[in-house]
Structure 1
Amino acid sequence: MERAAEVSQFGVRISNARITGQLDLSACRVDFPIYFHDCRFVEPILIEGGALHSLFLVGTPPTEGNTAKSSVPGILGNGVRIQRDLLLSHTLITGAHQTTSSISSSSAVWLTEAEIGGRVLAVGTVIDATGDRAIQADRCQVTGDVRLIQGFTANAEIRLIGAQLGGSLDLAGCQLVPRNGRALDLAEATIGGSLFINDSPRHAPLIRGRLELGRASINGRVLVREATLSAPAAGVGRHHYNAKDPAQRLAIVAQGASIRGELSIDEKTSVDGGITFAGAAIGGGILIDGATIHNASDVALDLTHAEIGSKLSAVAANIHGTVDLDGAEVAGPLDLTRAEIGRPVRRYCLTAIRAVVHGDVRLVDAKIGGTYPATIPGGSGGVGFRGAELRGMFNAEGAQVVSPGDKSLNLHQARISGNLRLCNGFRSIGFVALNRALVEGRLRCDGGTFEWHPREAGDSRLTERNDRAVAFESISATFRGGVGLGWSIVGAVDFTDARTTYLADGPAQDWPLHDSYLSGFKYERYASISMHGSGEWGWKARVRWLRDRDPAASDEPGDTGPWEQAAQILKNHGDSTGSEQILVAYQRTKRQRRVGWARSRLLRGLDRIFNDWFRGYGYRPLRALIPLALLVIAVAGPLLPARESQVMRATDPSGVVYTPRGELSLVESGQQPGETCGKGKVRCFNPWLYAVDTVVPIVDLKQRSTWSPSSDAGGAWMLAWFNVATLAGWAVSSLLVVGLAKAGSRSLN
């Protein structure tokens, strides 16, 4: 340094030297490069507070079986300012040193608050630290790239808290295997370029410890390719000041991180442990197609309240553990096509409560919750989008969701702007819950299978309460584009208070016997499941559907709402006859289920005759003419024989008594009366007119008021019968009048 003026612009180069004293450049200014090649230092290099042009500690790449020729027992460079590059390639760095930058931890390399105007390059560098950390460079500033690549190895933590890197951080082919469980700490760091954890020509990246990215800012992308990431054991590697982790074992911890580019984890990457980006902002989207993330019975991928600026794609990903998207916002589609997710921490393999997805949700051919019957107890789990807003379609064609004893698909209060497709091979083990959901498009279930099964043996998790054993529940849901069934279902179906435009179903096979809850279910028309044709409009088929699927017990009357809805649909589309037939069928079904006195077989038979034959349950009022006619015949019959009719008596105004044959006194004296009606003094007797006058109260033919059976002539029983017939006639006539009035009112409506 005293002869710096004699040094060329290429600086000082020292090769193959063994340096026994300490290189002390602290607080020194060196305006030329210093280059050590294949040199071995006995003492650590001290450059704290120095101002250097550039520093090279490089060695020849070691051949197989040979050790590194360049070695140094530590670098102490807190606060150093290096105008150009810092190169540490193919150098063995050892040691454990303490500085005033930390009161408790030691490190092999200290670069806290250092300023490097060029790059930091460590190709094939090995840091064999005997202390707490391999590199501690908190709040350092590097204008260029930091490249720890191609066999770079560290057996302790690399700490870059609050660092500001103007370029990229490249960890291609690195080997980070710390003893304390923290591999790389980039908390609150700023990276002007990208973060690469990818393969190099002869090395695959291996990180056995936590990768901390909490509140870090990365202006480029994050690429993880052909890497092996392994989280430490539960409770190992955490900072004491960290917030509570969402999982016991985490490989990547990035709460609140900001990534302007894309987060990409490729198909050849294996992550043993969880990943959390809770509250992070990832502008370029997340691409983890084909990746393997295993954190069984815990959270595998935590994206709660994250903002994902593009799509979230996990096509063909293999994930053990829960994928948590609660409160997240995805600016594009959520694509889980052919993904396999199982062994969740609690109930759901995928949970997205109150999440917002601006594109489609694709679960095509996905396998959620493992297999049924399960090979691993507790491996099942459902999909939960409770309260989510999905601004595209929800497509689960061919997907299998296994969650026995629980909700397989929970869309409670969700809003879907497109179609809801649970069709073409979709299978649900558990029950699908769409309560109070709003689907702007269609619900398609054709070709789907829905089965309710309780928890399997060995699964200790609580069972979701399901008293009705429903396999599909959509209470108060709205399907504005229509409902298409055509499914295979094991369990009950609940469409209570649901609303839709059309109902496309097979009434004979799509609805479970006595387990179809349809109270308040509103729809506007019937349609074909295939959308070709007109659907099932026959009133007989609809009657069988409503009668056989009604969940009411045999001694309960049932709900009239579904019957009236079906009748109204037929009437609105011009089939008034079919509409009335459905309403009559409901009354008949209700009569058959009556309790109390109607349990008697005789009374039930009479009730059936009265309602089916003579009344038509109020919808066939003219049938009341039949019992009226029978009453007329029953009254006239006893009066038709001449001998029986002689019990009838009439009295003229002068008090003369007459029989149907004439004046009573002449008949009793054996004379033949000349006039049977006393020349008009009394109305002539006619058995048929008398029967009509007796039975029909609204008709007055002056027969009943003129003639009456005489008890003296043995007509007491006949008088009693006529009185009974009068009362019966009043009742039947009243039914006729009321029925005609109701029929008129229905026709007006």
Structure 2
Amino acid sequence: MLSYDELTSPERELWDAFPEGHRVDLRMGVPEDDLVAEGGQWGPGRTVRAGVIGALLLGANSMQPGSVACLRLAGARVSGRLNLAGAQIAHALWLEDCWFEEGVDLSGASTQAIAIVGSRVPGVEASLVRIDGPLDLRRSRLASGSAPPLHRRVTGLSLTNAHVSGAVKLSGAEITAPEEWAVSAGGLVAEGGVYCVDGFVARGEIRLLGAQLPGGLHMRGAHLVNPGPHGVALALDNAVASTLDLSDGFIANGTIRLRGARISDKLTFEGAILNGPPDGHGPSLVALLMQAVDFDFTLAQPPTGIVDLRGAQVSYLHDNEHSWPDVVELDGFVYGSIKMDEAGERREAVTRRGSVAHRMAWIRRSPGYSPQPYEQLASWYRKVGHDDDARRVLLAKQRHRRQTLHPAARAWGHLLDATVGYGYRPWLTGVWLLALTLLGTLCFGTHSPSPVQRGEGARFQPLVYTLDLLMPIGGLGQRAAWYWSNDSLQWLAYLLIAFGWVLTTAVIAGVTRTLQKN
């Protein structure tokens, strides 16, 4: 137990100020002398032992009636390890521009608001902490380091299964743990949201697996770097959030992973840069089974790695010319509408010139053949009243599918495509019939056939005779009444009969395909 006589001059000042919540400011007022990065050189006049801070927070100095005790300290060098693991802390902690020799341990503690602002800390361990208020680490520099003996190595910031009733404020902070997790916050509940804006930088992975963020995750302009060869910059697997704001200059040198994440409002990457892992082989964005209402993917430049949206569901998709890399996984991706950003103006993608060709090229960025992206795109075109565009998409689907078939089926597909456009261009049948009818009428009209039975049957008419040949079922009485002694014309008659059967079969097959789902 500490006694008052054992305290140094700055510690006594802090001890006396605590009961009434007064601030103790040990800063010199000279910018060069108050640089936190040089805090290791501050002398005894600015040094406070971590044990003194811990003792005060645990009730070592009785409170003054009518006052609210609070520990407020600025410009101090904190020696030793501030260990409050498992403690029940009834007072708020506010530290500003302090330099810590060792990390801070709040694991399992229950406490009031905590603020360690503009400080340098080797690491903050706060797993299972319960904070009745905000956790404020703005402008601080956190770096993982070696803990004292019997303690495990810490990450930059650990909030695993923590519960913060206020906001987690990391704006302007810099967290470094290049060989492990810069932030480990799986299962975090932050009712007021997480704020990583105003130049926030993280070196190492930020893990928020299964986190619940009713106030959202805000990372406008943040810079995330994971130097590992297949590094993940941000992992939000199965997280639940109101908003994910990764916009306005947000940069990720590593994979953004949103597998199974559920965003009740907006997920935005507007103006972001997704560089993917440093080795250039990993994905830039993995959002399998992700759900969001509004998905804004209007990037500042194309991602360097794959974008994986398999099984994702969004109500509104916004994209631009920089949104998509060479490879995009779209199988199972469902969207309600698409808006295209052009010259800062957003409008329905169907109004864009060349919309269908642009969207089909987008689908073809997906490796292999899958019918679902085509069906989804066609469904959207039908929903907005562009049935012709929907048919073009479904025709493109059949042509893509044809490439996966064996040679015989591929040849039949080419025939269906040329004759009826797989049933999506039935007018092609009329073109073929018109061309063949003109051909037959002109060729048969220059010669006279021989009657099968003289003096019987109708008079020969080239047009009717040609139509009769092209009709595979029934007849007009001309085909059976005449024959040709000219071999060339006889073979032309046989050819027209064959074409009649082919066209009829193609029409039936094409219509059948249009009635099938795929």
Tell me by how many angstroms 1:324 deviates. 0.3
1:365-391 CA distances to partner (integer Å, 9 max, x unpaired)? Answer: 34433xxxxxxxxxx302111100001
- Equivalences, count: 478
Instruction: Give the equivalent residue in structure 2 for 1:471.
Output: 284
1:516 alignment counterpart: 328
* Alignment partners' CA distance in 1, 2:311 and 2:45: 58
Length-normalised TM-score, structure 1: 0.58
Q: Which has the higher helix share?
A: 2
Which residue of 109, 130, 138 corresponds with 1:280?
Answer: 109
2:309 corresponds to: 495
On the 8 A contact 2:188/2:210 being kept in 1, the answer is: yes
| Partners of 1:528 and 1:536 within 8 A in 2 | yes
SS of corresponding position for 1:443: strand
Matches of 2:341 and 2:77 in 1, distance apart? 49
The one of 99, 118, 128 aligned to 1:270: 99
One-letter amino acid of the counterpart of residue 586, structure 1: K
C-alpha distance after superposition, 1:451-503 (max 9, x if no partner): 11336xxxxxxxxxx97x31011111000234342342221111111111111
Whether 1:694 aligns to 2:469 is yes
Cα RMSD (Å): 3.6
Q: How does 1:204-223 map to 2 (within 5 A)?
A: 204-206=45-47, 217-218=58-59, 220-223=69-72
SS of equivalent to 2:94: strand
Deviation at 1:695, TM superposition (A): 1.3
Counterpart position of 1:597: 407
- Preserved contact between residue 95 and residue 115 of structure 2 (Cα < 8 Å): yes
How do residues 145-156 of structure 1 correspond to structure 2 at under 5 angstroms? 148-150=7-9
Alignment map for 1:531-680 (pairs within 5 Å): 533-537=346-350, 538=352, 540-548=354-362, 550-552=364-366, 556=368, 558-591=369-402, 593=403, 597=407, 610=415, 614-642=419-447, 645-646=448-449, 648-651=450-453, 658=454, 678=455
Task: Tell me the SS of whatever aligns to 2:307.
Answer: strand
The alignment-based identity, stated in percent, is: 22
Q: Work out the CA distance in 2 between the residues paired with 1:528 and 1:682.
A: 67
How far apart are residue 197 of structure 1 and its match?
8.4
Kindly indicate whether residue 323 of structure 2 is the aligned counterpart of residue 323 of structure 1. Answer: no
Q: CA deviation at 1:192?
A: 9.1
2:470 and 2:285 mapped to 1: Cα distance? 56
Which has the greater radius of gyration?
1
Cα distance between partner residues in 2 of 1:548 and 1:474: 17
Question: What stretches of structure 2 of length at least 5 have no aligned partner?
Answer: 29-42, 64-68, 145-155
Aligned to 1:470, what secondary structure does the other structure show?
A: coil
| Alignment match of 2:181 (pick from 330, 344, 348) | 348
The SS at the match of 1:319 is strand
Residues 356, 389 of structure 2: 8 Å contact kept: no
* Contact 1:485 1:510 survives alignment (8 Å): yes
Q: Does residue 445 of structure 1 match 2:216?
A: no
Q: Residue in 2 aligned with 1:260?
A: 90
Q: Hey, what's the Cα distance between the residues in 1 that align with 2:435 and 2:88?
A: 91
Cα distance in 1 for partners of 2:317, 2:74 equals 49
The amino acid that maps onto 1:343 is A
| 1:728 corresponds to 2:499 | yes
Q: Distance in 1 between matches of 2:432 and 2:446?
A: 23
Query: How far apart are residue 735 of structure 1 and its match?
Result: 2.6
Indicate if the aligned counterparts of 1:230 and 1:273 stay in contact, CA closer than 8 A. yes
Which of 245, 269, 280 is 1:421 aligned to?
245
Q: 2:205 aligns with which of 370, 375, 382?
A: 382
Alignment-mate amino acid for residue 85 of structure 2? Q
AA in 2 matched with 1:543:
A
Q: 1:292 aligns with which of 120, 124, 132?
A: 120
Distance 1:151 1:389, change over 3 A: closer
SS, match of residue 364 in structure 1: coil
1:35-94: CA deviation from partner (whole Å, max 9, x where unpaired): xxxxxxxxxxxxxxxxxxxxxxxxxxxxxxxxxxxxxxxxxxxxxxxxxxxxxxxxxxxx
Match of 1:313 in 2: 136
Q: CA deviation at 1:362?
A: 0.6
Higher RCO (Cα < 8 Å, 6 or more apart): 2
Report the Cα distance in structure 2 between the residues aligned to 1:510 and 1:690, rounded to whole angstroms.
Answer: 59
Q: Distance in 1 between matches of 2:366 and 2:405?
A: 13
The 1-side partners of 2:58 and 2:10 are apart by 26
For residues 37-56 of structure 1, the aligned pairs below 5 Å read: none
Letter in 2 for 1:356: V
Q: State the Cα distance separating 1:526 from its structure 2 match.
A: 2.1
Which of 494, 505, 509 in structure 1 is aligned with 2:319?
Answer: 505
Structure 1 617/427 Cα, relative in aligned 2: closer, same or farther at 3 Å?
same
Unaligned runs of 5+ in 1: 1-110, 113-119, 126-147, 154-167, 173-190, 232-250, 295-299, 370-379, 456-465, 652-657, 659-677
For residues 278-322 of structure 1, the C-alpha deviation after alignment (integer angstroms, 9 at most, x for no partner) is 00001x21101101113xxxxx10000000100011111111121
Offset, 1:637: 4.7
Residue pair 2:27, 2:76 contacting (<8 A) in 1 also: no
The 1:214–1:692 alpha-carbon spacing in structure 2 relative to 1, beyond 3 Å, is: farther
CA pair 304-595 structure 1, distance change in 2 beyond 3 A: same
Q: Which amino acid aligns with 1:227?
A: A
- Measured against aligned partners, the alpha-carbon deviations of 1:572-621 in whole angstroms (never above 9, x if no partner) come to 12222222222233334445x4565389xxx98x976x556532231111
| CA distance 1:718–1:559, shift in 2 (3 Å) | same
TM-score by length of 2: 0.81
CA gap of 1:329–1:607, structure 2 versus 1, over 3 A, is closer
**Residue type of the alignment partner of 1:623:** L
Question: How big is the shift at 1:339?
Answer: 0.5
Task: Indicate if the aligned counterparts of 1:170 and 1:195 stay in contact, CA closer than 8 A.
Answer: no
Counterpart selection for 1:226 from 75, 84, 90: 75
| 1:430/1:254 CA distance change after superposition, 3 Å | same
Shift of 1:700: 1.1
Seen in structure 2, the aligned counterparts of structure 1 residues 550 and 448 have a Cα distance that, compared at 3 Å, is same
Q: How far apart are 1:413 and its partner, in Å?
A: 0.4
Check the 8 A contact 1:212/1:254 in 2, yes or no. Answer: no
Per the alignment, in what secondary structure is the counterpart of residue 349 of structure 2? coil
Is contact 2:10–2:47 with CA below 8 Å preserved after alignment?
A: no
CA distance in 2, matches of 1:151, 1:539: 72
Displacement of 1:738 in angstroms is 5.2
Amino acid at match of 2:162: A
Paired residue type of 1:722: A
Query: What amino acid does structure 1 have at the position aligned with 2:379?
Result: Q
